[in-house]
Structure 1
């Protein structure tokens, strides 16, 4: 934003004119006496929300004095300059940081939250100056030169109050939207449970002589229930017969785009003969977590195979593969076996034998068709709601930047003649800095840390409004 496009009474100035900017440092990891102390040491992963209340690592005073680390006071603005550029936080404790974080202590002549909102608005622009291949970094020179649009102090205060109120409304909307995916998931589960227990078609059955549902174990109602295996020596090919692994079951469908593997016809008809699969077969993973990943093999895969983490179910003619698919997706057979599962730590398995012993409900063929129809109809409605949710979420998530965009164009709050001119404010800030430079700076031999104490570092003091350093 150039001077000619600024709102009346505003001025554009470099960030370094409004705040001190210092970076942290990391004590040597090889010196154990520098670590496991009592001084909080903040890194990028500790900035999880606007206010930073705790650290996951701590350094000693010896580590502080023998590194570039410095103590930042409570209230310091944190701005990340390595890798994840532009993450912003406010220290709610006295702490040190690593060199990937810059600490900003603005003059009290400006509204601190106004500066934070400015940095949030400019974060992408600042990130664009990043250099590096594996990860983008910026240096203090780039950060200090960042141009900040500055209105008079009174207007800053009104802008912050308005942005605060609008962002609070956006947050309420975002929190409300968070419930929708859980509601949709619960709805889908209820549909499946009612489908396989007969409740979904209870009214539809009235007046129809359909008879009672039968119940059969999987080996009775399926022509085949079989898990697969991996070819000896990982003998895969670049083309041939598609070979599915658990990661190929995505969102309860087959997805063969990610890491596709194949076996030759020779392997298919020898080592993997027992687990040959065809389009229309139902697959379910038996190694997790998570379990309950289910898919029907699409028509485009006329013949394929599976590894030992998947079981194939090939239903007999009187059992619809789609009804079987929804029965397995419902998850009750697997959930009842959770306490009986076995496997290595972090892995949950069910056995082929247990799959073969699943008790499967068998409605009449006409009712199976009706169940599938109703389930797909309800799922289609749920999918439509999910798409509306995603579209709305995307729009709401862009609102904060839209609000900030209007704020820094001077369009969010009314401009008042009584506000004065920001050039006067900037002159006052520059005069304050000049005075502070003329003051004699006491020499210190070491940096001190006292939890809860009065640490002043590169900030404007509350009393005489001069910059002090410790």
Structure 2
């Protein structure tokens, strides 16, 4: 998304209408039927909430209403209605918007906008979504810590409405990008399946192969990172980026949002990551305990916080092979078995990580088994980069079209 949203607000071409969102259609609020009335739930009508609305093409939800429920406490809308989230945790980082592709009901965390005559619903959704940076700036934090979008301000946003044939051409351009990206994402899905199969096959060879099993602390060192909350100040301190739990995902490290912390200069070596360090999370949902990935050194000097374990392998263990095992069914089962469960989350401690039993085949055998997996991962990385580039080109092209800075080709 481009930062200079002022471009989108510029004067639109001759023949385009300047329209406030308040006048772009009929605004509707949703609701939640009584959850104690079984007659309202379990029907065929998807009930869209802020949490369930994750796709632009809105057609399904884990929770469904009966027609009775939709008419008693919720709101029904027809295909072609624009839906967007106005309250929830997701608003702290993203603006969820989409178009209903079937009849749906929706909750109070979602607003609906039925396009006025002469406005294509997909064009309307794209024209709103392109203003995401500006819209996120309207989000306020509630007393419960969730985000709330100020819809009064949102209604004052102006968009440009071209003639219907131009709207449809813009939608078609966007759709062409989506089809190309969708085809690549299907290839990614197949490669992910292949990677999972190769990983399972590699670890299954431990049965009958005579591999030695050792506790993790026999083949690696385990350490926790920087404790946050009481940073030192003054001379002899240094501020450096660090990875927190949110950065350590299942199988990859996300550095899109990296924060910094101040530590003593003398602590730098203790908490600095090295390329090849395996990072594992300390807490979270029970089935996600010990999720992690191998650090690739993409940030020159980077620390890690105390809720992340750094596992540094010795000569007998490849970090990639160890990561393969910790994320396997057996590895997950170990963390779930020893994890401490509380009301909202589960956690593991460093002692439990150190005592984790891990298979230790000869290093050359580890590398042989990892070879096909690395090949598939390389293909996945190439396709992911291609998709990311297409997304950038798509965003730029659609922004130009929606701002009247470019014209769509005519047939």
TM-score by length of 2: 0.54
Instruction: State the match for 2:317 in structure 1.
Output: 319
Does structure 2 conserve the Cα–Cα contact (< 8 Å) formed by 1:243 and 1:261?
yes
Q: Does 1:284 align with 2:280?
A: yes
Q: Is the 8 A contact 1:235 1:263 kept in 2?
A: yes
Q: Distance between the aligned counterparts of 1:385 and 1:74, measured in 2?
A: 36
| 1:149 partnered with 2:127 | no
Partner SS, residue 375 of structure 2: helix
Cα distance in 2 for partners of 1:331, 1:256 equals 29
State the 1:264 CA deviation. Answer: 1.2
Tell me how far 1:218 sits from its aligned partner.
1.7
Query: 2: distance between equivalents of 1:410 and 1:175?
Result: 23
**Matches of 1:340 and 1:220, distance apart in 2:** 19
Q: Using the alignment, how far apart are the partners of 1:300 and 1:94 within structure 2?
A: 46
Q: For residue 246 of structure 1, what is the aligned residue in structure 2?
A: 245
SS at structure 2 position matched to 1:317:
coil
Q: 1:315 to 1:173 in 2, by over 3 A?
A: closer
Q: How does 1:367-386 map to 2 (within 5 A)?
A: 367-386=365-384
1:180/1:375 Cα in 2 relative to 1: closer, same or farther (>3 Å)?
closer
1:225 has 2:211 as partner:
no
Find the partner of 1:190 among 190, 193, 197.
Answer: 197
Query: In structure 2, the residue corresponding to 1:234 is in which secondary structure?
Result: coil
State which of 127, 139, 151 in structure 2 corresponds to 1:123: 127
User: Residue 238 of structure 2 contacts residue 265 of structure 2 at CA under 8 Å; is this kept in 1?
Assistant: no
More relative contact order, 1 or 2 (CA 8 Å, 6+ apart): 1
SS of equivalent to 1:337: helix
1:35-72: CA deviations, max 9, x gaps? Answer: xxxxxxx9996997579999999889xxxxxxxxxx99
Q: Which residue pairs with 2:263 in the alignment?
A: 263
Note the residue ranges of structure 1 that are not aligned, 5 or more in a row.
Answer: 4-11, 27-41, 61-70, 107-113, 203-210, 413-470
Q: Residues 398 and 92 (structure 1 numbering): CA distance in 2 closer, same or farther, change over 3 Å?
A: farther
C-alpha RMSD of matched pairs (Å): 6.2
Query: For 1:311, what is the secondary structure of its paired residue?
Result: strand
* Structure 2 residue matching 1:235: 3-state secondary structure: coil
2:351 to 350, 353, 364: 353
3-state SS of paired residue (2:352): helix
Gaps of 5+ in 2: 1-11, 30-46, 140-152
How far off its partner does 1:94 sit?
12
Cα offset for 1:234? 2.4
CA offset digits 1:202-227 (Å, max 9, x no partner): 9xxxxxxxx842222223333x3344
Residues 224 and 309 in structure 2, CA contact (< 8 A), matched pair in contact too? yes
Q: What per-residue deviation string (whole Å, max 9, x for no partner) do you get for residues 6-36 of structure 1?
A: xxxxxx58699xxx9776699xxxxxxxxxx
1:258: Cα distance to partner? 0.8
More strand by share: 2
Counterparts of 1:131 and 1:302 in 2: how far apart (Å)? 35
2:358 match: secondary structure: strand
| Distance in 2 of aligned mates of 1:138 and 1:116 | 18
1:247, distance to aligned residue in structure 2 (A) = 3.5
Q: How much does 1:358 deviate?
A: 1.9
Residue 396 to residue 344, structure 1, CA distance change in 2 (3 Å): same
Cα distance change on mapping 1:369 and 1:2 into 2, 3 Å? closer
Q: Please show how residues 80-91 of structure 1 align to structure 2 within 5 Å.
A: none
1:149 to 1:348, Cα distance in 2 relative to 1, 3 A: same
1:310 aligns with 2:325: no
TM-score after normalising by structure 1: 0.49
Summarize the Cα distance change of 1:196–1:301 in structure 2 as closer, same or farther, 3 Å threshold. Answer: farther
Map 1:11-30; keep pairs closer than 5 Å: none
Structure 1 residues 371 and 177 mapped into 2: Cα distance closer, same or farther (>3 Å)? closer
Q: Measure, in 1, the Cα distance between the counterparts of 2:303 and 2:400.
A: 50
Instruction: Provide closer, same or farther for how the CA distance between residues 302 and 216 of structure 1 changes in structure 2, counting only shifts above 3 A.
Output: farther
Q: Is the 8 A contact 2:223 2:310 kept in 1?
A: yes
In 1, Cα distance between equivalents of 2:171 and 2:241: 55
- Structure 1 Cα separation of the partners of residues 356 and 77 of structure 2: 63
- For 1:235, the equivalent position in structure 2 comes to 231
- 1:140-175 per-residue CA deviation (whole Å, 9 max, x = no partner) reads 9x67xx665378xxxx9xx98x99999999987776
| Cα distance change of structure 1 residues 91 and 386 upon mapping to structure 2, 3 Å threshold | closer
Structure number with larger C-alpha Rg: 1
